[in-house]
Amino acid sequence: MGLDFIARNQVVERYLSGRLPLKGATDFERFCHQHPELLDEIGLTERVHAGVRLLEASGKPEPWQEAARPLWQRPRVIPGLAAAVLILGAALAIVALGSVAKSHRITALQKQAFERALDPATSTREIRLLPSRSGASNTPAITIGGGGAQLADLKIDESRSPYRSFRVTIDRIDQGRVGVITNLTKDSNGHLRIALNSSALGPGNYQLTIEGLNWRGDPEPDSWITIGITR
């Protein structure tokens, strides 16, 4: 490889553009190492300077410059991220401990409610009720309880209803269902009889939805009544 060969075959241009085969590039680099004066003769320094000026004009960094690191890899950011992680971990630990404590508290209350015995009824109160046939109401027709526990003997007047058998659904208003009593039948006076210990339910208003059972045993809306429980 000589100067004539390099000039005739455009070795410099092909080398700089990456189009020179691997063996040719290796031979050219070895030749330049043995003849460093060649770099001045072919004007390589001027070409490199021109390339750098083009990079500066375009705003692109020189290829030998270190690439910008992501934000999380910068030395000043790492301590801040570590501190944030520690704070977040501590906050999560506090929340987890609070959640565990609340879970234990809820479990204890549920166990207490499950195991709590009913208060013995010290009196019996007979209550006659006339249900509404136009719709449910949140206003209690009667309030039971207060002081000692009472045994409320509810007599719901269904004498005007064509049904003989009924299903009664008890819901605590704005909370949830308490229970369902099915296959209740009217007595000779046309009353549905329900005896209830006032301590069996918590304080609040309870809606009784009364449905008549047709000949197939399917429930159909009949009437409603709301009672209140107090302690």
**pLDDT tens, residue by residue, 34-45:** 877 777 776 667
Instruction: Among 26-40, 104-118, 151-165, 203-217, name the one with the lowest average pLDDT.
Output: 104-118
Q: Is the pLDDT of residue 6 over 80?
A: no
For residue 115, is pLDDT > 90? no
Q: Which range has the top average pLDDT, 22-26, 160-164, 197-201?
A: 160-164
Tens digit of pLDDT for each residue in 125-176?
Answer: 888 999 998 888 888 888 887 777 778 889 999 999 999 999 999 999 988 8
Mean pLDDT of 93-104: 78
Contact 206, 228 (CB under 8 A): yes
Question: Where does residue 31 rank: exposed (0-12), middle (13-18), buried (19+ CB within 10 A)?
Answer: middle
Model confidence band, residue 103 (pLDDT cutoffs 50, 70, 90): confident
Quickly state the pLDDT bin for 180 (edges 50, 70, 90): very high
Average pLDDT over residues 43-52: 70
pLDDT at 113 over 70: no
Quickly list DSSP for 129-149: E--BSS---SS-SEEEESSS-
Task: Please give the span between the terminal C-alpha atoms of the chain, in angstroms, as a whole number.
Answer: 110
Q: Which two tokens stand for residue 134?
A: 């136009």
Q: Give the pLDDT confidence score for residue 110 in this predicted structure.
A: 66
> Which CATH architecture group holds 123-230?
Sandwich (2.60)
DSSP 150-176: EEEEEEEE-TT-S-SEEEEEEEETTTE
Question: Do the bridges between strand 150-157 and strand 219-230 make them parallel or antiparallel, or are there none, so unpaired?
Answer: unpaired
Residue 112's pLDDT band, with cuts at 50, 70 and 90, is: low
CA nearest to 184, candidates 135, 134, 223, 145: 223
Sorted by sequence, the CB contacts under 8 Å of residue 5 that are 6+ apart come out as 11
CB contact at 8 A, 201 and 208: no
pLDDT at residue 22 in the model: 83
At 209, the pLDDT band (50, 70, 90 cuts) reads very high
pLDDT value at residue 116? 54
Q: What percentage of residues in the chain have a pLDDT greater than 90?
A: 24
Closest listed residue to residue 168, CA positions, set 158, 181, 178, 153: 181
Average pLDDT of the chain to the nearest whole number: 80
Domain ranges of the chain: 3-58, 123-230
Grade residue 5 by pLDDT with cuts at 50, 70 and 90. Answer: confident
Rg of the Cα trace of the chain?
A: 46
